[in-house]
Amino acid sequence: MKAAQLHKVGKIETRPLQVEEVELPVPRRGQILVKIEAAGICRSNLHMVEGEWVHMGVPAKYPIIPGHEIAGRVAEVGEGVTSVKKDDKIGVSPLWTSCGSCEYCLTGREQLCWKRDITGETVDGGFAQYILANDGHIYPLPAELDPVDAAPLFCPGVTAYGAIKKVPLGPGKKLAVFGVGGVGHMAIKYGKLYGSDVYAVTRSDLHLALSEELGATPVDAKKDPVAQLNRLGGVDASIVFAPSSDVAMQAVRATKRDGTIVLGAWGGVPDFPFYDEKKVVGTLMGSRQVMREVISLAVSHKMLPVTETHPLDEVNKAMQELKKGEVKARAVLKPWG
């Protein structure tokens, strides 16, 4: 099969991913071979490829195929798999597998499992024509969902929805989303769905325009966003997807007393005003049940990502565009052209 492999971390401009022929994986007991129809390109793929996560042991192996938001069809099932059959539409998320028996797995928080595997970081991922998946960690996809729309649900969708579920929402509630990309634009959509007033904070003209298209009030980050939001009396909650301590502190300052700040990216809060009783919480993806809700909302309320597509051969080009901030919301690879 054709796959984009990382042999050595490095700057994306020097084309570190090699698109090449690799051996077709064979599903073992409890595994499923998935023919990939669409795979989203995530900023975290870029962080791994450029070597920013080596200190965390990512990637865990070489060569590795990156990519963790995947939609496709069952090509072959391994021994003991009865949940799906050949040609069923399914998706694969970043949570490739979890142990099933730790305190997190037993309480519906398996994304926090210490023995988890992460798709495209510890095991081969989706920038390929096929991937192996685990029986307990696949998601049936409704027939009406296009694979290109479905793939980004597995990272931006579940990450944004997981963050949204941690904040107060509803009519009259103000929500600020800091960082409008693949994840941020989905957070805007969910915030609107629940009736909140959504403010989208970004430096990029492309993303300010996208925010407005999605029904958010654009807030230009180049023009003192904290002052702009505080003029409205502050927001009830902020969600931060921009990896920056400056942005995290902006979110803290723009959020009302007793409000909630959700961090979905690296960021420090060095001057945290404890006396305002604000809450800072982290967020990482969501559980399998949360993932199911995301798929359900995609169908029932058209909670679909904004996408653009590329063939697999253009993976390095597409990742460079992501790095330069030229991707409107989500770039998706179509490994079969």
Residues interacting with Zn ion, by CB under 5 A?
42, 44, 98-99, 102, 105, 113, 155
Hey, what's the torsion of the CAs at 175, 178, 180, 184, to 10 degrees? Answer: -60
> Which amino acid, 44?
S
Nearer to Zn ion, 113 or 128 (CB): 113
Nearer to Zn ion, 42 or 290 (CB): 42
CB 246 within 8 A of CB 270: no
Do the bridges between strand 307-311 and strand 279-282 make them parallel or antiparallel, or are there none, so unpaired?
A: unpaired
Nearer to Zn ion, 80 or 108 (CB): 108
Closest contact distance (angstroms) between CB of 159 and Zn ion is 7
- Residues forming beta bridges with residue 18, ordered by sequence position: 5
Nearer to Zn ion, 126 or 218 (CB): 126
Nearer to Zn ion, 196 or 316 (CB): 316
Question: Would you give the DSSP letter of residue 171?
Answer: T
How many alpha carbons lie under 13 Å from residue 104 in its C-beta half-sphere? Answer: 14
Nearer to Zn ion, 77 or 242 (CB): 242
* CA gap 264, 242 in Å, rounded: 8
Closest contact distance (angstroms) between CB of 117 and Zn ion is 11
In Å, how far are 67, 128, 309, 313, 333 from 20, measured between CA atoms?
Answer: 16, 9, 20, 9, 15
Closest contact distance (angstroms) between CB of 65 and Zn ion is 15
CB 209 within 8 A of CB 226: no
- Residues forming beta bridges with residue 39, ordered by sequence position: 70, 333
Closest contact distance (angstroms) between CB of 94 and Zn ion is 6
* CA gap 258, 311 in Å, rounded: 47
Closest contact distance (angstroms) between CB of 25 and Zn ion is 22
